[in-house]
A and B are shown apart, each in its own frame.
Chain A
Amino acid sequence: MLPPSDYLTKIKPFSYLDEEQIDELIKNMHVSLYKTGKTVFKKGKVLDRIYLVRDGELGLFDGDDLVEVIGNNEFTGLSSAIKKEKTEFEGRAIADTICFEFRAKDIEEMMERNQEFAEFIEKILRMRFSEIFHFEEDELMALFSKKVSDVIFRDPVTCDPESTLRDVVRLMKENGVGSVIITNRKGNPVGIITHTDVIDALASDVPLLSRAESVMSSPVIAVDLSSSLLDAYIKFIESAVNHLAVARDGRLAGVITIKDLMKSFEPRSSLLNYPKIVKKIEDPEQLEDLIRDVLSSMKNMLRSGLNYETISSIYIPVFDQILRQILKKTANESATVAIIGDFGRRELILPPVYRLLIIDGEVKNGNFSECYTTVHASSFSEEKKLSDLVELADSRYISGSGARYVSFKEEIGRIVEGKKDEVLSLMKKELREKITAENCDVKVEKIARLWTVYNGEFTSKTTSERVRSMSLDPEVISLTSEIYSTIKLIRLREAIFGNRSKTDAIILKKSVGVIRTFRNAVREEMKTW
């Protein structure tokens, strides 16, 4: 074992290598000390080594502008060294800095021999600005990609529907569990009785000899054993329950509780408390507190390197839950409400202001007016501008009559389908408009929506999903969807931290070019329509 291998094994992607492979990299390594101010590599050069900062700080400069700082245990130079591209920035030591420098040739060879290592590096190389990608081990990412099977260790405690409430209570006590799953003869779960259900039942004088099936809640909400903790998390939030059944190949395999999840999430478990808090919201002040809490938890997420889609899927359920709670107070009995706009596509924007489409009934603005804006479906007659109708492709149901919502959406879908020519001219108009750093994400959203609507699809999807379904050059698609996500992250960061970092400004500037390429590709493709 060669000297610094203990150190390297703790750093991604070297952690994927075995001892022998690490030794091979070390064999040809250089270790350099750069005095403050010394140039490590110039701009516009193809590097033959990648740089791991062992100690110190390396600045990436665009002229005299410091774009990014590469700190301890972080890399730079990878995209230049591996993709043989010219460096976009100059690397200069901004403190006395020691770098471990690995030969590009050795890294390439290791990529051929070690698949995990290669995948990690390729993932980074696919990112547009891989030079300023931070290789930090991402705890949160690791946490969310853990599997449910890593967390559950309890066999489910079950009983049949004919068992009594007393049997259930005894089963809970004997097994020390907080929930019992009711299964039918085939062993399929038909309901669940949790600790809370028992207390509720006893408090409302349900006799102990009542049958389990009269007390249980059903259907049982389940996750698959192979699901990620992120999936489980979303289910917990969406359904506001404390227990989920775990299924393997459709059969009951165990139970995962919110406590199990919390243990894995420490110290970030506060995320899981939201459903409980949401239920208790009574007045706007409590709501404000909660939203402030949620937003501050987002700070860490935004720094963690999670991508936009993941962050959206973590937070949209929380905000949806809050919205449902508010609607309970502000919507009247006959109201059917859908979400449109960014939140309709399940894309997070800040501040979290929903756009609501009131299909039937009424929604007061009342004390919660800052949480949403409303538009009435009655204004969406055939005379309504087609561009507004197309936007309804983003709508999704939130409360009231599901059937009413579906029939409304189908109706709009039919109207739009009948005006394909107009959709096409909307698209042409869209493609003529100027793309700037400020509007480039919205442009992608509009183009992707018009494209899918023109192709006969009128369901709510994220912009990235829509882009990925477009029949364009795969390279253009992957770049566009990546850049789109990055821009959306920048927007979130701006909203949360109140300013735009230099890196973000540069990325935005360069993004415009990518989005223009995307637009041109769409133009070309449309000639064949």
Chain B
Amino acid sequence: MVEDILKENYVVIDVETTGLNTKKDEIIAFASIPIKEMKIHMDESYFTLIKPERFRITSIKYHGITENDLLSAPEFYEVAEKIENALISSVVVGYAVNIDVEFLRNAFKKKLRKKLKIRGYLDIAEIEHWLIKRRGRAVNFKLDFDSLLKIYRIEKFSRHSAMGDAFATAYIFLKQLSQLQELDVSPEDLTRFGKKIVFF
């Protein structure tokens, strides 16, 4: 682990799924954007649609991806290596990222009988929660993705696509990193409170 949180490599991810059940539902889109030394590298970002074994029409309203869109998409095993490479050397960052990580772990286990190695993960809602409390204030509102967008004034970015959400998440995380560094937060501290799961 590096000493300075700004020197760490991060990768922001977002997945779209056929539903919310991490055991039964499947990943249909994956997006990742690396952040190195306070720089979002769109040129090293990765996005793919993934053909599920079983599509659930009802989930379209969440992600806008139709079964038709997925017809020519690769299956999970075809993109697994790329996904693994995207994650392998970085700390994973996301919103409700524990769910995304669980979907990924289950997919690797079920479809490839393989354990996905993840160095650690950080949730931007957790970080924000910590930052607000650190400033001596109470979190007396729902700290969901939309409020995070509002806090960081980025409602203009297009939402509800894996890449759009990943970019917004990366942008928020960049600004959070800057604040965390000013508060002298170490990478160990960050991983500790960054993945604690608080239910609102």
Q: Spell out A's residues near B (CB within 8 Å).
A: 1-7, 26-35, 55, 96, 98
Query: Smallest CB-CB separation from B179: which chain A residue?
Result: A96
Q: Which of B42, B164, B171, B181 is within 8 Å of A27, CB to CB?
A: B42
The answer to whether B157 and A6 have CB atoms under 8 Å apart is yes
The answer to whether A28 and B42 have CB atoms under 8 Å apart is yes
Judge if B168 is at the interface, Cβ distance under 8 Å.
yes
Judge if B167 is at the interface, Cβ distance under 8 Å.
yes
Judge if B143 is at the interface, Cβ distance under 8 Å.
no
Expressed in whole angstroms, the minimum distance between the Cβ of B166 and any Cβ of chain A is 8
The answer to whether B163 and A2 have CB atoms under 8 Å apart is yes
The answer to whether A3 and B38 have CB atoms under 8 Å apart is no
The answer to whether A29 and B38 have CB atoms under 8 Å apart is no
The answer to whether A33 and B42 have CB atoms under 8 Å apart is no
The answer to whether A35 and B174 have CB atoms under 8 Å apart is no
Query: Smallest CB-CB separation from A38: which chain B residue?
Result: B38
In chain B, positions 157-195 with a C-beta closer than 8 Å to chain A are: 157-158, 161, 163-164, 166-168, 170-171, 174-175, 177-178, 181
The answer to whether B38 and A32 have CB atoms under 8 Å apart is yes
The answer to whether A32 and B39 have CB atoms under 8 Å apart is yes
The answer to whether B174 and A5 have CB atoms under 8 Å apart is no
Measured in the bound complex, the distance between the Cα atoms of B177 and A28 in whole Å is 22
Expressed in whole angstroms, the minimum distance between the Cβ of A323 and any Cβ of chain B is 50
Measured in the bound complex, the distance between the Cα atoms of B168 and A157 in whole Å is 57
The answer to whether B43 and A27 have CB atoms under 8 Å apart is yes
Expressed in whole angstroms, the minimum distance between the Cβ of A110 and any Cβ of chain B is 16
Measured in the bound complex, the distance between the Cα atoms of B172 and A55 in whole Å is 12
Assuming A6-B158, A98-B171, what are 11 further A-B pairs, CB within 8 angstroms? A4-B156, A4-B167, A27-B42, A31-B42, A31-B174, A33-B38, A33-B39, A33-B175, A33-B178, A35-B38, A55-B153
Judge if B41 is at the interface, Cβ distance under 8 Å.
yes
Q: Spell out B's residues near A (CB within 8 Å).
A: 38-43, 45, 153, 156-158, 161, 163-164, 166-168, 170-171, 174-175, 177-178, 181
Query: Smallest CB-CB separation from A106: which chain B residue?
Result: B43
Measured in the bound complex, the distance between the Cα atoms of B185 and A166 in whole Å is 86
A29-B157 CB under 8 A given contacts A3-B164, A3-B167, A98-B175: no
Measured in the bound complex, the distance between the Cα atoms of B157 and A405 in whole Å is 64
The answer to whether A31 and B170 have CB atoms under 8 Å apart is yes
Q: Which of A3, A28, A96, A98 is within 8 Å of B43, CB to CB?
A: A28
Q: Which of B40, B164, B177, B181 is within 8 Å of A31, CB to CB?
A: B40
A3-B168 CB under 8 A given contacts A33-B175, A33-B178: yes
Expressed in whole angstroms, the minimum distance between the Cβ of B38 and any Cβ of chain A is 5
A29-B43 CB under 8 A given contacts A5-B158, A35-B178, A98-B175: yes
Q: Which of B40, B156, B167 is within 8 Å of A30, CB to CB?
A: B40
Query: Smallest CB-CB separation from B182: which chain A residue?
Result: A35
Residues in A whose Cβ lies below 8 Å from that of B166? 3
Residues in A whose Cβ lies below 8 Å from that of B157? 3-4, 6-7
Residues in A whose Cβ lies below 8 Å from that of B156? 4, 6-7
Measured in the bound complex, the distance between the Cα atoms of B163 and A28 in whole Å is 14
Residues in A whose Cβ lies below 8 Å from that of B171? 31, 98
Residues in A whose Cβ lies below 8 Å from that of B167? 2-4
Query: Smallest CB-CB separation from B42: which chain A residue?
Result: A29
Residues in A whose Cβ lies below 8 Å from that of B168? 3
Measured in the bound complex, the distance between the Cα atoms of B5 and A35 in whole Å is 14
Residues in A whose Cβ lies below 8 Å from that of B41? 30
A31-B39 CB under 8 A given contacts A3-B158, A5-B158: yes
Measured in the bound complex, the distance between the Cα atoms of B178 and A465 in whole Å is 53
The answer to whether B163 and A30 have CB atoms under 8 Å apart is no
Residues in A whose Cβ lies below 8 Å from that of B158? 1, 3, 5-6
Measured in the bound complex, the distance between the Cα atoms of B164 and A2 in whole Å is 6
Expressed in whole angstroms, the minimum distance between the Cβ of B29 and any Cβ of chain A is 14
Expressed in whole angstroms, the minimum distance between the Cβ of B78 and any Cβ of chain A is 22
Query: Smallest CB-CB separation from B175: which chain A residue?
Result: A33
The answer to whether A3 and B163 have CB atoms under 8 Å apart is yes
Residues in A whose Cβ lies below 8 Å from that of B43? 27-30
Residues in A whose Cβ lies below 8 Å from that of B174? 31, 33, 98
Q: Which of A5, A32, A34 is within 8 Å of B40, CB to CB?
A: A32
The answer to whether A26 and B39 have CB atoms under 8 Å apart is no
Measured in the bound complex, the distance between the Cα atoms of B182 and A35 in whole Å is 10
Q: Which of B38, B163, B175 is within 8 Å of A34, CB to CB?
A: B38
Residues in A whose Cβ lies below 8 Å from that of B177? 33
Measured in the bound complex, the distance between the Cα atoms of B40 and A35 in whole Å is 15
Measured in the bound complex, the distance between the Cα atoms of B175 and A366 in whole Å is 66
Contacts A/B (CB < 8 Å), 29 sampled: A1-B161, A2-B42, A2-B163, A3-B157, A3-B158, A3-B164, A4-B157, A5-B158, A27-B43, A27-B45, A28-B42, A29-B43, A30-B39, A30-B41, A30-B43, A31-B40, A31-B42, A31-B170, A31-B171, A31-B174, A32-B40, A33-B39, A33-B175, A33-B177, A34-B38, A35-B38, A35-B178, A35-B181, A98-B175
Query: Smallest CB-CB separation from B174: which chain A residue?
Result: A33
The answer to whether A96 and B178 have CB atoms under 8 Å apart is yes
Expressed in whole angstroms, the minimum distance between the Cβ of B46 and any Cβ of chain A is 11
Residues in B whose Cβ lies below 8 Å from that of A7? 156-157
Expressed in whole angstroms, the minimum distance between the Cβ of A4 and any Cβ of chain B is 6
Residues in A whose Cβ lies below 8 Å from that of B170? 31
